[in-house]
Chain A
Amino acid sequence: MNRIHAPYLVVGFSVAGRWGARAIRSRDAKKKIVVVSEEEFYSRPLITYSLGKKAKDITYRETIVDESHVDILWGKRVESLDTSRKVAWLQDGTQISFDRALIATGGVPIIPSLHGMDKKGIFSFTRSEDLRKIQEFLRDFPVERVLVLGGGFIGLKTCEAFLHLGLPIVLVELSSRLLPTMLDEEGSRYLEEALSRNGVRVITQDTVEEFRGDRDRLEEVLLRSGEIIPVGMAAVAIGVKPNVEWLRNSGLNIRRGVVVNEFQETSVRGIFAAGDVAETKNLITGEYNVVAIWPEAVRQGKVAGWNMVGAVTSYPGSLPVNSLDLGGLALVSAGIVNPPQEWGGEVLVKREPEEYLKVVLRNNVIVGMVMVGRIERAGLYIHLMRERIVVSDFKNKLLEKNFGLVNLPKDYRKHLVEGVGVEV
């Protein structure tokens, strides 16, 4: 039996894993880092872009961490983790003992159990092999219409790709509007209008009852409402869940994801988690949840890596931020966009035919934002949100077209501008 000792073990080598390894290397140039990676490295979000031919492929330009300075076990999967003995077993029987470990195994798509799910032409969008399969399918079979199941973020990214391919799309969402967590009602309306303008049929408050086809191939779908729509292909994008099945018996505290504290450390000392697999404290609500987005994977990976080498750094909390560009309509959302009424906060709104801006305040701190149409300077609002800057002095400027650094208090502005950029 193959035994390896790893001072640092990194499980999963995508965004969080790579940034984690980079952070370890930046503070500890010597000790061995062992990485176990099931997949080759690619940029997962590029799957839809690549399908839509906006990106040539799904490769990421940089390696983030110099691969020659880490020992990578490609194509291997950690089968189980013994947290008390600090040992990980691979599928092939290899045993890796470790001092510190970073769990960064990401997420897996949620596949609903529907009638006819086994028909050919039904795909999800999370792995590089999914992309290859879809491209092959589109090459081999004529598809006249495609159904996208799920009006959430990935569903819409999928729509974006199919729009670029010029395919007629039917988008089915169970709730009453699109992107229900990312947008408010008004924002959803701008989005639905933009989709309609681009020929997308949006069906809300409905879902697929059954995928049908005479032979093994998908030919039509039956919706719960009873409507039958002929489609040659379907994309299931109802969500992603943390990839935690392999950790069920590890003894780690797992709810939806692996629960971590502010140092990205799990319930077991020395074992850390970051990225889509981790359940972290939300920057705004303080509640624990999984915020499966790239920027947080980077931040969490870095914080975990630093803490693994003993450079104590705390993670301020996760902040959901997303951007989309659909049929020429750009859109950014961040934080809490539908504040519960009992918060008693303040909502500032600007509406224009092609533009929508909503800023949600609580105790004069920005806690949420939606920008539709014009997304320039979205980063400034998000920065104010992250830094919890009190905006009372310039609240009346927040909605102005030229709202910028100039409106911030002089000292803070100078601190931002005259330093070496931002400190993370």
Chain B
Amino acid sequence: MVKRIRIHEEYCIGCRLCEIICMVKHSASGKIIKAFRKESERPLPRVRVEEEGYTSFALQCRHCDEAPCVENCLTGAMHRDEATGVVLCDEDLCVGCWMCVMSCPFGVVERKEKGKTTVSKCDVCAGKEEIPPCVKNCPNEALTYE
């Protein structure tokens, strides 16, 4: 079965370490201090902590089985990686029509930083990590990968 990042809102402590680590992992250098202090363009975090009162949880692409963003993509840039089941956006093919942005019921596909005509979404770190860094760095196991 395809592994998914699971969200446990009861244990999200709202520290946003997942967001920070995600930004670092998708930055040019991948080094936390450099990414924040030296790199002029900081990537958007692909996981977002939603907070309201005492409730908070980290939310990223759910990699839906019948993903509307994939179905509605005009170019096929948004696609499912057959091997991993992960929904990925091929930035070279993306034309920035924002069909995925308005198709995603979770609101987790966002336009990329200014000046780019493509979208930003969770890529489960492109399979480069055995456990996604947002999961690994969650201090309270509010995100698990199973």
Task: Select from chain B the residue with minimum beta-carbon distance to A400.
Answer: B52
**Interface check B56, CB cutoff 8 A:** yes
State whether A334 and B102 are in contact (beta carbons under 8 Å apart), knowing that A46-B74, A379-B109, A422-B64 are contacts in the complex.
yes
**Interface check B99, CB cutoff 8 A:** yes
**Interface check A378, CB cutoff 8 A:** yes
Interface size on A, residues (CB 8 A): 43
B96 touches A375 (CB 8 A): no
Task: Select from chain B the residue with minimum beta-carbon distance to A332.
Answer: B102
Q: Which of A270-278, A353-361, A402-410 contacts B (4 or more CB under 8 A)?
A: A402-410
Q: In whole Å, how far is A50's beta carbon from the nearest beta carbon of chain B? A: 9
A49 / chain B contacts, CB cutoff of 8 Å: 74-75, 95, 97
Q: In whole Å, how far is B62's beta carbon from the nearest beta carbon of chain A? A: 4
Task: Select from chain A the residue with minimum beta-carbon distance to B106.
Answer: A405
B71 touches A295 (CB 8 A): yes
State whether A330 and B68 are in contact (beta carbons under 8 Å apart), knowing that A61-B76, A377-B107, A404-B107 are contacts in the complex.
no
Task: Select from chain A the residue with minimum beta-carbon distance to B99.
Answer: A323
A420 touches B98 (CB 8 A): no
A19 / chain B contacts, CB cutoff of 8 Å: 71
A417 touches B62 (CB 8 A): yes
B7 touches A323 (CB 8 A): no
**Interface check A130, CB cutoff 8 A:** no
Interface size on B, residues (CB 8 A): 44
B74 touches A45 (CB 8 A): yes
A residues adjacent to B (C-beta < 8 A): 19, 43, 45-46, 49, 54-55, 60-62, 294-295, 298, 321, 323, 325, 330, 332, 334, 375-380, 382-383, 397, 402, 404-407, 410, 414, 416-418, 420-424
B68 / chain A contacts, CB cutoff of 8 Å: 295, 379, 422, 424
Give me 17 A-to-B residue pairs in the complex whose CB atoms sit less than 8 angstroms apart, sorted by A's number: A43-B76, A46-B74, A54-B117, A61-B90, A62-B76, A295-B71, A295-B103, A298-B72, A375-B98, A376-B107, A379-B104, A405-B59, A406-B51, A406-B56, A410-B55, A417-B9, A421-B64
B102 touches A379 (CB 8 A): yes
B72 touches A423 (CB 8 A): no
B65 touches A323 (CB 8 A): no
